[in-house]
Chains A and B, each alone.
Chain A
């Protein structure tokens, strides 16, 4: 009997006559003792009831025994059983509502008991409360200052974005990368979000992306940065369009000078347009928070920037020294009842809220400079707010929400003496050339209205703008922003053509957002919500635009176009949109007006789906060769293992029986090593139809060099592979640029394999028939037999994997038995390394474990709503892919098999490599 059961029983029998046995030890003799009285229940030690009735009864003892029994019974009847509440003692028809609240509703005979019980519970409650901290009243807790303190306490470990509270009310929040981020909305809106992405607009807060600013002379910066990149992978930092500042670029960064190996990750970058009379350039590099520390260290090494500059930089006053005024001052002003506590909290964390950054500690420096090269590295994390709008209508949402800043000449002339230095916009209005530029930018922004879809624009265009505070004309109701092409068409057909063909001219990309002093001034002088509400109250027509625009209501912003799907032929331009860069502190001021224009808001999982539909690798997920990717894999493995262990063992899929070696984590390194061995053996044999399985030695062998696997990113090799993957005789598909690529031949193939021995290549896979690929599904090479099956029937179901045998199950059972006898310290260590249904750690040969030769794994897979079939993204070893392709007949080139980890069924898939 378990402990809980025993306890329960004890409680039930507390008021029962515990032992009604009349002890009769003093009577006749020991053997008769148990028969003296009646005994409740069946006594174990008695060994059963007496077989024969007693021959005689002693009157005295008998009467005494019966008297004891009767007494016990009476006692039991008079007492209410303790387990039931007083009210339960009443029959149902006599119970009344809220009896426990008011004991007078009880019949009088029960009132005493009820009162006593009530008192008892009161005492218990007060005791508990005293044990807890002295809680403030709700009213006190919700007071603004105290609330802020509480918020600051709660984000000590994981920083909140500016839109956190908005998100926390609507999203499942996750703590990731030092931030609290919205993962997915609490309401069911997977499909609406997808529709928003493909038809209207989806909004995301990407402020957690880290921005690193580089300051220096152009040639020195380029010389330093060129060590991190390679022209093989595409445009670099030095590409002409990006360097002019008109376009945003993106690239993969490597460790300095180690190009094919040691990648760091994906970054996007933006140059500040050249300013006249200054050789200094400014560059923003945006990176994922998991990548930031690696990148920063590498940048410092490359730029020789090792001197950390203390809180004040030589150029501008650093923002960390001056915390955001409104919040910190309010926090300090709170007349706290508990002064002691208040003092402790208000000094540090209220400042930290503004400092907020999940990727570094508050005390670490944010600026480094180099005396040799003169380059200054500035960590601008959380200094800028970045919102992403995805979808063809995102520009109409923007044009609806934002209005180019109005001039304030009249006003500033009147108030010149008071406002000369504090605000940047009135100052600017005096400069005629700058106002001209502003006018041009505003015109360009108006031209956006006549465009129907965001994908019509040149990819990566940057448009700088100064806008009025968007809170000034907040619609009273949520409205759907729609393009108004027809009205705008006649007006500026010419301009529209110019914009779509040439993009934004260089001088229009110059923005004040690059200026730290302007950013700070804008952040500091933001009108509080309270003042705005007061202004709204005074407006004659409710809901109309607030005017005149207050002087501090101008914000410099940058609009950066995000290209949609660019590679491949299907769904071109899907998922294009705009990024909105704002100075910090203005997040909510722009967020709510955007939401009021009928956008949907997506979380982290939507950005994953966005990338999946766009067929681009998503940063930490699809970069297994980067340190950030490895870290991500560790986390994912732990998470998946936890999830698996939560299910009862009988309800888990037995991955050993299913022939799935790595359902939780893909051993890329092992796979690459194995394929390297296989291809070497093949080369030595010079025959390519020998059984592959026998040639693999299960554990690497001594000949393998300890080389790290890499992801193939060289464009020329990718282009070659992509050509070879396509079936050449398929209907409707023609080889593009037939002349440039050599056809698949043994010599060309072996040359490529030789060049990329330890490489895996990122592929997009689409299922030919039904099926939904899942995470870590296996990608295998079909046999000739399978392909014949496919040739016979186009939508053929794939082959089946014969079930494997689980040799570990018996071992686990044995170890469990031994655990019972062993000490508890022993058993925890044993159970941790053996999980039912998972292969223990030294895996056997992964490539030849199943009946089909394994080539790679899927890293993301789902039913794709845009393609209408299952689609997956994954990696395949280069040598494995080429060896498979060579063996395949021409019409089935690029057909592979996919098997989900929890299934034995192989399905046919088509490989696409898009360059």
Chain B
């Protein structure tokens, strides 16, 4: 559910003849996930993801959460962060970071005997990591 989704971006044209190769996208690399990490995807309902973030913040366990979005989901991640901020009446602050994620594609030849080896190629996609945190951090936290 919280997988960083690999959106169908048609920005990069396939160099190979599509008849000879099948393109298979691998999932982006996963990293260990803390409890306050939220990976935004395009499949889950927006309201559900927003509610999830709110729950994390209001639960009191976390002073800050990280909202991650990759590719097409960047928009939605920003949306979620802004909605959170707007609904908190100024109590929450945002700090956004961007990064580039390397994605791997497999190209499988249709006719495996002649075309030879299946290829892998990497391409890059943008990602955003928004830290949503309370403005006045309580000093009691150890």
Q: Which of A213-221, A232-240, A615-623 contacts B (4 or more CB under 8 A)?
A: A232-240
Task: Tell me the complex Cα distance, A486–B32, Å.
Answer: 8
Q: Is the CB of A458 within 8 A of B113?
A: no
Q: Is the CB of A241 within 8 A of B26?
A: no
Distance to closest chain B CB from A865 (angstroms): 13
Task: Tell me the complex Cα distance, A456–B42, Å.
Answer: 21
Task: Tell me the complex Cα distance, A458–B105, Å.
Answer: 10
Task: Tell me the complex Cα distance, A483–B42, Å.
Answer: 27
In the complex, chain A residues whose CB is within 8 Å of the CB of B112: 234-236, 239-241
| Most A CB within 10 A of own CB, among B27, B111, B116 | B27
In the complex, chain A residues whose CB is within 8 Å of the CB of B118: 241
Q: Is the CB of B117 within 8 A of A740?
A: no
Q: Is the CB of A566 within 8 A of B24?
A: yes
In the complex, chain B residues whose CB is within 8 Å of the CB of A732: 42
Q: Is the CB of B120 within 8 A of A240?
A: no
Q: Is the CB of B32 within 8 A of A452?
A: yes
Within 8 Å of chain B (Cβ to Cβ): is A231?
yes
**Of A241, A483, A572, A734, which one neighbours B27 at CB under 8 angstroms?**
A572
Chain B, residues 7-34, CB within 8 Å of chain A (1/0): the string is 0100000000011000011110111100
If A238-B113, A240-B112, A572-B27 touch, does A734 touch B18 (CB 8 Å cutoff)?
Answer: no
Dominant SS at the A interface? loop
In the complex, chain B residues whose CB is within 8 Å of the CB of A739: 18
Within 8 Å of chain A (Cβ to Cβ): is B94?
no
Distance to closest chain B CB from A850 (angstroms): 36
**Of B8, B26, B116, B117, which one neighbours A455 at CB under 8 angstroms?**
B26
Task: Tell me the complex Cα distance, A502–B120, Å.
Answer: 7
In the complex, chain A residues whose CB is within 8 Å of the CB of B29: 452, 456
Chain B, residues 97-140, CB within 8 Å of chain A (1/0): the string is 00000001010001111001110101000000000000000000
Distance to closest chain B CB from A236 (angstroms): 7
Interface set, chain B 14-71, CB cutoff 8 A to A = 18-19, 24-27, 29-32, 42
Task: Tell me the complex Cα distance, A737–B25, Å.
Answer: 14
Task: Tell me the complex Cα distance, A553–B8, Å.
Answer: 50
Distance to closest chain A CB from B5 (angstroms): 10
Q: Is the CB of A456 within 8 A of B26?
A: yes
Q: Is the CB of A231 within 8 A of B18?
A: no
Q: Is the CB of A573 within 8 A of B27?
A: yes
Within 8 Å of chain B (Cβ to Cβ): is A189?
no
Distance to closest chain A CB from B69 (angstroms): 17
**Of A234, A455, A485, which one neighbours B32 at CB under 8 angstroms?**
A485
Q: Is the CB of A240 within 8 A of B116?
A: yes
In the complex, chain B residues whose CB is within 8 Å of the CB of A485: 31-32
If A231-B113, A240-B113, A456-B26 touch, does A500 touch B31 (CB 8 Å cutoff)?
Answer: no
In the complex, chain B residues whose CB is within 8 Å of the CB of A297: none
Q: Is the CB of B27 within 8 A of A231?
A: no
Output the nearest chain A residue to B17 by Cβ-Cβ distance: A740
Within 8 Å of chain B (Cβ to Cβ): is A33?
no
Chain A, residues 221-255, CB within 8 Å of chain B (1/0): the string is 00000000001001110111100000000000000
In the complex, chain B residues whose CB is within 8 Å of the CB of A236: 112-113
Q: Is the CB of B26 within 8 A of A572?
A: yes
In the complex, chain A residues whose CB is within 8 Å of the CB of B25: 572
| Most A CB within 10 A of own CB, among B24, B117, B118 | B118
Within 8 Å of chain B (Cβ to Cβ): is A67?
no
Within 8 Å of chain B (Cβ to Cβ): is A879?
no
Task: Tell me the complex Cα distance, A485–B26, Å.
Answer: 19
Within 8 Å of chain B (Cβ to Cβ): is A453?
yes
Output the nearest chain B residue to A567 by Cβ-Cβ distance: B24
Output the nearest chain A residue to B110 by Cβ-Cβ distance: A715
Distance to closest chain B CB from A160 (angstroms): 39
| Most B CB within 10 A of own CB, among A236, A392, A572, A715 | A572
If A455-B26, A572-B27 touch, does A231 touch B111 (CB 8 Å cutoff)?
Answer: yes
Distance to closest chain A CB from B140 (angstroms): 28
Distance to closest chain B CB from A488 (angstroms): 12
Within 8 Å of chain B (Cβ to Cβ): is A99?
no
Within 8 Å of chain B (Cβ to Cβ): is A174?
no
Interface set, chain A 246-277, CB cutoff 8 A to B = none
Within 8 Å of chain B (Cβ to Cβ): is A789?
no
In the complex, chain B residues whose CB is within 8 Å of the CB of A501: 104, 120, 122
Task: Tell me the complex Cα distance, A392–B3, Å.
Answer: 13
In the complex, chain B residues whose CB is within 8 Å of the CB of A453: 27, 30
Q: Is the CB of B117 within 8 A of A573?
A: no
Task: Tell me the complex Cα distance, A235–B109, Å.
Answer: 9
Task: Tell me the complex Cα distance, A501–B107, Å.
Answer: 12
Output the nearest chain B residue to A483 by Cβ-Cβ distance: B32
In the complex, chain A residues whose CB is within 8 Å of the CB of B104: 456, 500-501
Output the nearest chain B residue to A244 by Cβ-Cβ distance: B117
In the complex, chain A residues whose CB is within 8 Å of the CB of B120: 458, 501-502
In the complex, chain B residues whose CB is within 8 Å of the CB of A459: 106
Q: Is the CB of B27 within 8 A of A740?
A: no
Output the nearest chain B residue to A226 by Cβ-Cβ distance: B113
Q: Is the CB of B32 within 8 A of A740?
A: no
Distance to closest chain B CB from A130 (angstroms): 68
Task: Tell me the complex Cα distance, A739–B10, Å.
Answer: 14
Distance to closest chain A CB from B28 (angstroms): 9
27 residue pairs from A and B, CB less than 8 Å apart: A235-B112, A236-B112, A240-B117, A241-B112, A241-B117, A392-B30, A452-B29, A452-B31, A452-B32, A453-B27, A453-B30, A455-B26, A456-B26, A456-B29, A456-B30, A456-B104, A459-B106, A483-B32, A485-B32, A501-B120, A501-B122, A572-B25, A572-B27, A573-B27, A715-B110, A732-B42, A740-B18
Q: Assuming A452-B31, A501-B120, what are 16 further A-B pairs, CB within 8 angstroms?
A: A235-B112, A236-B113, A238-B113, A240-B113, A241-B112, A241-B118, A455-B26, A456-B30, A456-B104, A458-B120, A500-B104, A572-B25, A572-B26, A737-B18, A740-B18, A740-B19
- A-B pairs, top 10 by smallest CB distance, nearest first, are A239-B112, A235-B112, A452-B30, A240-B116, A238-B113, A501-B120, A737-B18, A453-B30, A573-B27, A572-B27
- Taking Cβ atoms with an 8 Å cutoff, the residues of B that contact A are 8, 18-19, 24-27, 29-32, 42, 104, 106, 110-113, 116-118, 120, 122
